[in-house]
Amino acid sequence: MELVRQLAGLSVSNLRQFRDDDSYVDRLSHRYTTTICVVFAILVTTKQYAGDPIDCWVPAQFKPSYEAYTDSYCWIANTYYIPIDQELPDEESSRRSKDILYYQWVPFILLFQAFLFYFPRVVWRTLNVRSGLDLVNLVDAAIKYEQVEQYESRDRIMSYLIVNIERYISARAQLTRHHIQKRFSCIRRFFQLCFFCSNRHYGNYLVIVYFLVKLMWLVNALAQLFLLNAFLGNEYYLFGFEVIEKLFKNQRWTENRHFPKVTYCDFKIREIGINHFYTVQCVLRINLFNEVIFIIQWFWLISISVATIYDFLVWLYHCTVS
């Protein structure tokens, strides 16, 4: 008990706000990427509700109230994008096929991304406490061991680590013998020892849980690009390559099909039984923010995907050779 109290005084849990019971690449996903997505969501939401996200060029006879109505309607009902050098289609269906559907929902997209990046962390924190090993305190102790300089303090921390790990290994060995003798046939023992069958009685629980969590981060990092492509459309997963090409060719950054700034909106106004049909040109100011945000997102997601794949393969290698 005295050893535990001494270690509690040395614990870095009181000094650190975050738990470091995973790898740095994992923290890139659940800590930094989540923070980036939330910050971007706040910025876009502020621009949408405190600024002027859309501004439409209305006929001269429109009163200020008509102009405000037009802006609100076109924001809610979606606009469509036709390049300035092309004629507007006459058919309404052709125009509707060019609708831009995402810009009102960008804050929700970003928050959903933040949730997806943080969810594997919730799974890991929920399941690792069932292993019977106080992983958080052990990690804290190992970090503190590297930080302290006094020999006596380092010796106490090392003793704490050794005692807890030996206790865990001994308990697992006893449970394994009891479990095999009392409950399982030879065939079932084979499947329980299989890599993909997690069982605390055989001591592979933490390994399997961490494997599944790292697999979740890997799938999430790769799937995010295709998720954004499904939501934003226009082959978003190739967007970054287009940006790189323009930079290398020193081309001027102009209107692009992914985040157009100039769009069109159709609407009808009924006056004394007569329907007036209008087509107005609108400036989507919000897409100035969206474009920058999703350019950063593209390069960040690619970096996270590469780092996660590398970290996953290195971790599998260490598990195999250890």
> What confidence tier does 203 reach under pLDDT thresholds 50, 70, 90?
low
Comparing CA positions, the residue from 278, 131, 296 lying closest to residue 213 is 131
Identify the three-state secondary structure at position 53: coil
Asked if pLDDT for residue 202 goes beyond 70, the answer is no
Average pLDDT (303-313) is 92
Report CA Rg, the chain: 29
Mean pLDDT of the chain: 77
Min mean pLDDT across 41-50, 61-70, 234-243 is at 234-243
Residue 250, amino acid:
N
Q: Residue 124 has what pLDDT?
A: 86
Q: Residue 39 has what pLDDT?
A: 95
Q: Residue 306 has what pLDDT?
A: 93
> What confidence tier does 19 reach under pLDDT thresholds 50, 70, 90?
low
Q: Residue 17 has what pLDDT?
A: 45
CB 263 within 8 A of CB 284: yes
Number of H helices, E strands in the chain: 12, 5
> What confidence tier does 201 reach under pLDDT thresholds 50, 70, 90?
very low
Domain boundaries, the chain: 2-76+101-254+276-321
* Backbone phi and psi for residue 279, each to the nearest 5 degrees, phi listed first: -120, 120
Asked if pLDDT for residue 246 goes beyond 60, the answer is yes
> What confidence tier does 136 reach under pLDDT thresholds 50, 70, 90?
low
Average pLDDT (273-285) is 88
CA distance 111 to 38: 6
Average pLDDT (109-129) is 90
> What confidence tier does 195 reach under pLDDT thresholds 50, 70, 90?
very low
Residue 9: count other Cβ atoms within 10 Å of its Cβ.
9
Distance of CA 34 to the CA centre of its chain: 6
Neighbour order of strands in the sheet with 79-80: 54-57, 274-284, 262-271, 79-80, 99-100
> What confidence tier does 282 reach under pLDDT thresholds 50, 70, 90?
very high
Q: What are 47-63's pLDDT values in tens digits? A: 888 888 899 999 888 88
67 vs 143: which has the higher pLDDT: 67
Average pLDDT (127-149) is 65
172 vs 34: which has the higher pLDDT: 34
Q: What are 78-109's pLDDT values in tens digits? A: 898 988 888 888 887 788 788 888 888 999 99
CA distance 201 to 190: 13
CB 45 within 8 A of CB 180: no
Q: Residue 7 has what pLDDT?
A: 39
CA distance 294 to 71: 24
Asked if pLDDT for residue 35 goes beyond 90, the answer is yes
Distance of CA 143 to the CA centre of its chain: 27
CB 269 within 8 A of CB 275: yes
Identify the three-state secondary structure at position 149: coil
Helices assigned H by DSSP within 17-63: 24-27, 34-50
Comparing CA positions, the residue from 155, 159, 160, 164 lying closest to residue 132 is 164
Q: Residue 234 has what pLDDT?
A: 64
Q: Residue 184 has what pLDDT?
A: 47
